[in-house]
Amino acid sequence: MEEKRIIGFDLLRVIAVFTVFFDHCKSYLTIPLESPLNFPLGSDLFLVLSGYLIGVSVIIAYNKGESGVLYSIKFYIKRWFRTLPNYYLFLLINILLIYFHLAPGFLNKYLISYFFFSQNLFKPYDFLWWESWTLALQEWFYLIFPLLIFLMNKYLKSKIELKKIFLISILMFIFLPLFYRLSIESNLDFDLYFRKIVFSRFDSIGYGLLFSFFHFYYAELWGKYKKILFLIGLIFILSIENYSNDLWYYKKIIKFCILSFSIALLLPYLSSVQKLLFFNKTIKFLSKISFSVYLLQMPVSYILQKYFTINGFYSSILYIALYLLLTISISYLNFIGTESYFFRLRAKVLIKVDNYHLKKATTKNRSVIN
């Protein structure tokens, strides 16, 4: 059965992935792709949306009284069947591309860090598959947040109500990365040591979590002010993205915080958008393959650059069209092949987990009765 989709969030995913797509390809073109306005990179949009969606899932499950152990097991099955097969597949692809001299980068003893999502955990290893930093960040979030909620609920629920447990956990994701960034030396490379380090960017996800909290516990306000929040969010995003300031406290503190918060302000309105004129099917299709597009865009670009020469305006136009067509086509094949296969396998595993839990609960009830 196809999951219920929110077209507003599908649109945000599409904007996010193709923002990254065009940002990556524009440096190879002889025609300008610059906009008079700067927009946030797609990675920022992805992180905030991920935090919101996972936060909603966790909060609803615990408030329905679902077993913390059962939910955690099912959560990890859902996430890891969704992300790990593609992650390791494209890690292998990137390694092979470098090995056969089809992509930039090199292989060394630190390659092992990529297999454990630690390539940007505390120290950046920046020698291949540069876009994987967001994947590592999300995987650590998927591991830590549900586990943190489970442990706090298990050991503190007699002292702290569930609502406060969620709020405390979310605030930890927002403020601890801020303190971490403050502890980093200001003269280090901004992109590697601030923007792409796992513990430096958890707060981008944290603002998404915060808005999932507001959505569940303050649903009336969520819907009441959605349009004005959307407008404020857009104004803040454009303002901060088009304001240049190299002062350390602005780049380390203010920009990250305000940008992530501003993106989160878009969510109440986007969560209510169910139709986009005649673009619904296109947006849904592109959203479904967005993960594959994100993973494939650079490998496709590397190979195209080896065999395609850009020497003028028309060749640039042809390059863009070919690059886009190949990326979308191969992404679709990967979606119906790799992703869909593991979706089906995941469904079977989840059914087995539910059946095992039901059987165990039935046996326990019979033992109590006897």
265-315 pLDDT, tens digit per residue, is: 999 999 999 888 778 889 999 999 999 999 999 999 999 988 888 887 788
Q: Average the pLDDT over 157-180 and give the result.
A: 94
Q: What is the DSSP string of 142-182?
A: HHHHHHHHHHHHHHHTTTS-HHHHHHHHHHHHHHHHHHHHH
Q: What is the largest CA-CA distance in the chain?
A: 83
Token pair, residue 87, equals 């992650």
The tens digit of pLDDT for each residue in 135-154 reads 999 999 999 999 999 999 99
Q: Does residue 144 lie in a domain region? A: yes
**pLDDT for the residue 32:** 59
- Output the pTM of the full model: 0.92
Q: Establish if 311 belongs to a structural domain.
A: yes
Number of structural domains found in the chain: 1
Instruction: Give 325-353 pLDDT, tens digit per residue.
Output: 999 999 999 999 999 999 999 999 999 99
Determine what percent of the chain falls in helix, strand and coil, rounding each to the nearest 5: 75, 0, 25
Is residue 71 a part of any domain in this protein? yes
| 1 is a domain residue | no
The answer to whether residue 2 sits within a structural domain is no
User: Average pLDDT, whole number, for the chain?
Assistant: 89
User: What's the average model confidence in pLDDT over 216-224?
Assistant: 92
Q: Distance (Å, rounded) from C-alpha 200 to C-alpha 194?
A: 6
pLDDT, tens digit (0-9, with 9 covering 90-100), for 56-80:
999 999 998 877 788 889 999 999 9
The parent domain of residue 96 ranges over 7-369
Q: Has residue 354 been placed in a domain?
A: yes
Answer yes or no: is 85 within a domain: yes
Of the chain, the percentage scoring pLDDT greater than 70 comes to 92
Taking the CA atoms of the chain, what radius of gyration do you get in angstroms? Answer: 22
pLDDT over 60 (residue 172): yes
Average the pLDDT over each of 31-40, 190-199, 226-235, 360-369 and give the range with the smallest value.
Answer: 31-40
- For the stretch 81-103, pLDDT in tens is 999 999 999 999 999 999 999 99
